[in-house]
Homo-oligomer: A and B are copies of this chain.
Amino acid sequence: SVNPDLASERQTPSFSVEKLTVRLDGGAEHTRIRRAVVEAIECDPEFSRENQYFQSQNERYEAAVRKAVHLQKKMHEMGWTESGPEFKYIYRALSGDVAFLLHRIFMRSISVLGSDKQIAKWIPLATQFQLIGSYAQTELGHGTYLQGLETTAVFDITTQEFILNTPKISAMKWWPGDMGRSATHTVAFAQLYVHGKCYGVHPFIVQIRSLQDHSLCPGVTAGDIGPKMNFEHVDNGYLMLQNVRVPRENMLNKFCEVQPDGTYVRRGSQKINYFTMTTVRISLIEDEVIIPLMKACTIAIRYSVVRRQSKLKPGEQEAKILDYQTQQEKLLPPLAAAYAFHFLNDYLQELFDKGYREIQRKNFDTLPELHAFSSGFKAMVTQYCTSAVEICLRACGGHGYSLLSGLPSLYTKIVASCIYEGENTILLLQTARFLIKCFMAASAGQPVPPSVTYLAAVKPGKCPAKNKSDFLRPDIYTEAYQHMAVRLISSTAAKLQDLIQSGVKKHDAWNQCTVQLVQAAKAHCHYITVKNFAETVEKLETKAGIQKIMKHLCDLFALHGIFSNAGVFLHDGYISGAQMDMVTASYLDLLAVIRKDAVPLVDAFDFTDKSLNSALGSYDGQVYQRLYEWAQKSPTNKQTSPAYERYLKPLLHNTLSKL
């Protein structure tokens, strides 16, 4: 039975929830397939996440391996293949709680960086799990800056082998997933030396554990890096190599090869490699970032209509906490952002598919733009969603802090997305470098990529809004974002030039502008997100109330951004103080409007109770019953602690007679 406080929220949605779900999935057929995959996985007890919050790191790892092995069987049974339409929903249905994800990266890197011969040898072995692969790039002392890697691979012409070494502790490979305890092989990145000359970082296939008994190979030291904030199911590992020899054929040599006599040959274009890095960043956004935010919104919003606290009006019963403006202010902008980023992701996917087709036709012109896009949006979306998940957690008060709410693990996992696949600040600076370059080109009348042509059309002017309803016009607020982005980019470009002209060295000048460059890159991404949301809404079907509610969310996303970053809009007077008051008024009005549809809007995400795995967020809203039932299953209740016999009893009994 559904909690009546939750049921009442679903009585009169302003739109068709099912139709919105279908729109989010990209069509009814996708919805059908997704639900079938979720159903098949959730019905299978082998994939259960029921006791997840009670498990140790060892138990989590073991369960993830078990699931990964079972998944092979399941896929065979169900007729799912890696190229089939079901595949993309499997990982989501498992909530990523499965091993061998780096095995896939191992395979991808061989496919991309290996020769046809290498692909023919290794890919079938990996596909059939005759080995377990990992991907060893990051070192204890070296992350983003690949040129700094210290692991070496020296070519020994006499034996036709590479000799791999991690010469210092900081050279030790550190973090690779699946490597701490599972992997038998890895793609290790090392500085290539031939005849004493360094040729830079190259990838080598290295066996690290015996296929017979899984013992470490000679010269190999490896293990698990220990406890982390999350990812307990992954055996992130360390790896030291001492004179480990691999045959010449183990250097991945699609783009460069060491010939038997030691001649180093570079061939083909490395640009495709560069493109692979950018696609990884885009591909993680949906599963690792947007879906967790959608889950957090679902949990927090359902809880906020079930939880009652204090009285809003004297004499009435305690109010649902979602009826407080401050609670709406916490939860509805994240909800709007989840939709904004979903549509942004659609746009990015399309852009990258198009880019990929161009690249296959050997046209690399769009690469700089795609790289700038992938960097900036990865950074913006991960940062925004991480903050939003934290807001959801804190908005649920004490119960949000319980692991049983599901919110702490959503937070501790999503926060890693700000760091992995490129640390966000560094990524934003790469976007900024592209923007500055384009701005200079545009200013000089040169052509620039389509997404930044707006930089050429700098108009000073003022925002024309005359009343608060003007700020519900997408042209008005999109223009404001554009103006703000142009201003931040152009003023930072000017500062940079001024510094250089005043004699500051180029790299120092750049460093002195980086705080503002980061701000400018964010502004650009924010602008594109708002613009894309507004354009998407424009194209939605007007039936079933979907366009109308999406328009509200788009307005909210845009106005919340102006309200929260008021300084950058007010700075040059483009928006006046009086207009900012209109923005605030419209923004606060929208909160009350969207609040009415808040539950239908999260229902449309269509998460099952099992996928949320939350005592607060279930479809039926039976929060208190579930918290109590789940708590009773905790090991802290199941097993009698020795603490009583050892410590409490002697303490209490010492003087028991006196009571």
Contacts and interface: CB of A to CB of B under 8 A. Distances in A.
Interface of A: 53-54, 56-58, 61-62, 65-66, 68-69, 72, 125, 128-132, 138, 140-145, 148, 169-170, 172, 174-175, 180-182, 184, 211-212, 214, 223-229, 235, 238, 307-314, 318, 323-327, 329-330, 390, 393-394, 397-398, 400-404, 408, 412, 415-416, 418-420, 423, 425, 429, 505, 507-508, 511-516, 518, 565-573, 577, 580, 584, 588, 624-625, 627-628, 630-637, 639, 641-644, 646-652, 654-656, 658-659
Contacts of A513: 325
Contact of A312 (B125, B511, B569, B644): B511
Contacts of A625: 169
B180 A648 contact: no
B418 A659 contact: no
A635 B325 contact: no
B227 A53 contact: yes
A318 B148 contact: yes
Given A214-B644, A397-B423, A652 B129 contact: yes
Given A144-B309, A514-B326, A635 B56 contact: yes
A61 B634 CA distance: 13
A461 to B, nearest CB: 15
A646 to B, nearest CB: 7
B647 A69 contact: yes
Contacts of A651: 69, 72, 129, 132
Overall SS of chain A's interface: helix
Contacts of A307: 141
B140 A627 contact: yes
8 closest residue pairs by CB, A with B: A566-B567, A226-B634, A224-B636, A227-B403, A229-B408, A567-B567, A570-B570, A226-B631
A57 B635 contact: yes
A649 B637 CA distance: 35
A647 B565 contact: no
Contact of A228 (B182, B402, B588): B402
Contacts of A650: 69
A330 B419 CA distance: 14
A631 B169 contact: no
B211 A652 contact: yes
Contacts of A53: 226-227
B408 A394 contact: no
A57 B627 contact: no
Contacts of A68: 647
A568 B566 contact: yes
B404 A227 contact: yes
A148 B211 contact: no
Given A419-B401, A628-B172, A324 B511 contact: yes
A587 to B, nearest CB: 9
A636 B61 contact: yes
Nearest to A148: B318
A476 to B, nearest CB: 18
Contact of A659 (B132, B211, B390, B636): B211
A310 B148 contact: yes
10 contacts: A58-B641, A72-B651, A129-B655, A172-B624, A181-B641, A182-B643, A226-B630, A227-B402, A325-B515, A398-B419
Given A169-B625, A229-B401, A238-B628, A131 B659 contact: yes
A187 B163 CA distance: 69
A377 to B, nearest CB: 18
B144 A639 contact: no
B145 A403 contact: no
A312 B506 CA distance: 10
A643 B633 CA distance: 24
A54 B408 CA distance: 19
Contact of A588 (B394, B512, B624, B636): B512
A312 B326 CA distance: 44
Contacts of A228: 401-403, 408
A540 to B, nearest CB: 29
B403 A419 contact: no
A494 to B, nearest CB: 11
A648 B132 contact: yes
A430 to B, nearest CB: 12
Given A577-B573, A656-B212, A637 B309 contact: no
B138 A637 contact: no
Contacts of A567: 565-567, 569-570, 580
Contacts of A658: 125, 128, 130
Given A229-B403, A641-B61, A326 B425 contact: yes
A60 to B, nearest CB: 10
Given A512-B588, A625-B169, A58 B518 contact: no
Contacts of A630: 226
A72 B655 CA distance: 15
Contacts of A309: 142-145, 148
A519 to B, nearest CB: 10
Contacts of A636: 57-58, 61, 180-181, 224, 226-227, 235
Given A72-B651, A143-B397, A327-B425, 18 more contacts: A54-B227, A61-B636, A132-B648, A141-B307, A174-B398, A180-B637, A181-B636, A211-B656, A214-B649, A228-B402, A229-B401, A229-B412, A312-B511, A325-B512, A326-B515, A390-B390, A408-B412, A512-B588
